[in-house]
Structure 1
Amino acid sequence: MKADMGRKYRAYPTGDQESVLTGWGHTGRALWNVALEQRVYLWEQRRYTLRSIEQCKHLTAARTDMEWMGDFPAQAGQQILRNLDRAYDNFWNPEHPAAFPSRKKRGHRLSIPFPGQAVEVRKLNRKWAEVRIPKLGWLRFRLSRAIGGTIRNATLSRDGNGWHVSFGVHTGAKPAAPNGKPGCGVDFGVAASAYVSTETTPRLMPPSLTDNEKARLKHLEQKKARQVTYAKKHRGGKYGRRLRKTIAGIGKLRTRQANRRQDFTHKLTTDLAENQGWFGIEDLRVKNMTASAKGTAETPGKNVRAKAGLNRSILDNTPGERRRQLEYKARLYGSELRVVPAFHTSQTCAACGLVDPESRKGCGRLFACVHCGHEDDADHNASVEIEARARRTGGTVTNSTRSVPRTRVPATGRRRMRETPKPAHVS
């Protein structure tokens, strides 16, 4: 019985509990790094693959010999080793995009995982609940939504806003039946966060930071650079209280920015999954799109700062996260995600189907076909083209550049096809 849904709540530890959790977070980080180093060493020296079953025996001996490791809950240490197993399995899986497991730095987000059998949850009232953590006791958290299932695992984590508790929950939910609604194409961009082919206006993501917050963030980043330079020169690289306070301020703003971005993404993907029978999106290679333009000293890159700004804008719109959310929400709401090749969607006319870079000079907002004279917003034209490809291929991604249908339906005719219900099948 595996977890099929996640629940995250804001936790409110006491002062003593927060001190213990912070120490546990660094202990867990050290355990991960040591276990990873042990596996790498054995493979390089003996070509031997070490797994968590054997490392748990070493963990038992380490808990006896080292006091700081003995204070760490055994269930959390074992769960960290199992997570390392999963990281290796994902790396070895050719169909998984995960890279080789990496070591965790001191500035990495603190997290302490537990198996579901090690925790217990009790509800206090309509808004509050408590979770019992081994060696810590009862930890209060805000019950912002019902857990709604059997807890399979729990993780305590800290970000710029404080501590959170996350539960992996088995709900037993099955994929919903097809909702029978019409489909659409969606173009994810920068100027227009998302343009749906069946709509006349784009969906714009509000600024993730206000002007004052951007100025505050810039001031803190500059302040941090000065303080780090001073620490390296006069304190041997040791961080002081003021520097840690500056880093905490930066983390708070970054977390606020991420939360606002995530809020818009969830609202967008939920609306699409609820109100569409299927939706087509581009098979974007975000890693390649955001590759740095910086070169070497002999051959420096061109427009490095401009490319860096474009990379930030692309990542701020989180196309990969939107695709991930659409995949699992489609199963919940009875819709279907269809991924189509992104080749020339911005240069293909949605009316005549001809590809010509001259139809969109300078990558402006206007698309004007030089062959048939069709004019439209460039992002909306791309979304209509994505819909046509998704309707034809059914979401099967191919490497062929001939993904455009030979027989084209004009954009106006395609809209009428969407609005006209299909006749019932007569056998």
Structure 2
Amino acid sequence: MLTLKFIQENKDEVIQRLKIKNFDAAGIVDEIINLDNQRKATQVEVETFQAEMNGLSKKIGELFKSGKAAEANEAKARTGELKENIKGLDAKLSEITSQLDEQLVQLPNLPNEIVPPGKGEDDNVVVKSGGEMPVLNNAVPHWDLIKKYDIIDFELGTKITGAGFPVYKGKGARLQRALINFFLDEADKAGYEEVLPPLLVNEDSGFGTGQLPDKEGQMYHATADNLYLIPTAEVPVTNLYRDVILKGSELPIRNCAYSACFRREAGSWGAHVRGLNRLHQFDKVEIVQVAHPTKSYEILDAMVAHVQTIVEKLELPWRLLRLCGGDISFTSALTYDYEVYSAAQERWLEVSSVSNFENYQANRLKLRFKEEGEKKAQLAHTLNGSALALPRIMAAILENNQCAEGIRIPKVLVPYTGFDIIN
């Protein structure tokens, strides 16, 4: 979340920049500043009463020793009054702080100055593109191909769990595992240390990365234990550094993680979510970095370039988008999306988002670092990206590589699959 100091010192800038996200922040910002001023004034009252009480406490013993019992008793009575006053002010301070926190979490992160204005995905900006567009006659969509070759079964998944939980079979399962291992190996080559995190997180973890409060109801909630199934490995991996003060020399920290991901995707329907295009459970390899504030945008560019190398090795046509204010996430300052082209569906499919959150998550996480010789710690920057999400990559591979003999496997994956065609 945004820091109180920044909001107090940059009120107009906060309001203006959040307009790029189509967010009217004026009322909330005014309320935050008002509550913060109340908090500070109340804290001053507490400290004033506390100082008076401490002074009286020292005098009471001296007054009794000097035989001034009446004055000593008056001082004791006054300390009693002060204790009650402080108790009441502490309760008031707690209430103000609670209200302040409630308002702070409603403010999105500020968009970077290069985030274009816009209402939604149609206003995103194409930065660049690459790869050869496949030329296919009578291309078959992946939801028909998986039935023809019996490699993914949605009906079995529906029987076992429900819609949006497919069962991968035979060469489909091996291709899925091949993609996971390939993505992890590429991350390892790029200097990311692999971790294998839990698939459920507590409220503090969900709050730390901005998934909670869950305004859109997209997280699965295990209510008996008050735990949440992760929507992405970003959540547990970034939370490895919650309430931590790092050394400046440790930055940047690079982690990658494979995990299953769970999203309710409430309100999703239509042809654009058919088959593998949108699932409730899917696999993804995530890359996460904790960075020095002066280096985070340089690191963002490197993360974007890393994803590009992967889609190029998979021989998929791709394009890179800079998300507009209306499509960027609540917590992100700048996001780039990679899309690959689906020959059978004749449309672009999002397969990766790479984002810089600046210090927005770090402030919630209390994730800080301290340079050598400095007394004061400062907030780090956090970044993450999909490298890659599997379902639409799988869909594009199946659709773009179909031929008379079956479905060709991209050369880079053959050492992982052990076969070069699905037939």
Query: Shorter chain as normaliser: what TM range?
Result: under 0.3
The structure with the larger Rg is 2
TM-score by length of 2: 0.23
Q: Which has the higher strand share?
A: 2
Q: Please, what TM-score do these two structures have when normalized by structure 1? A: 0.23
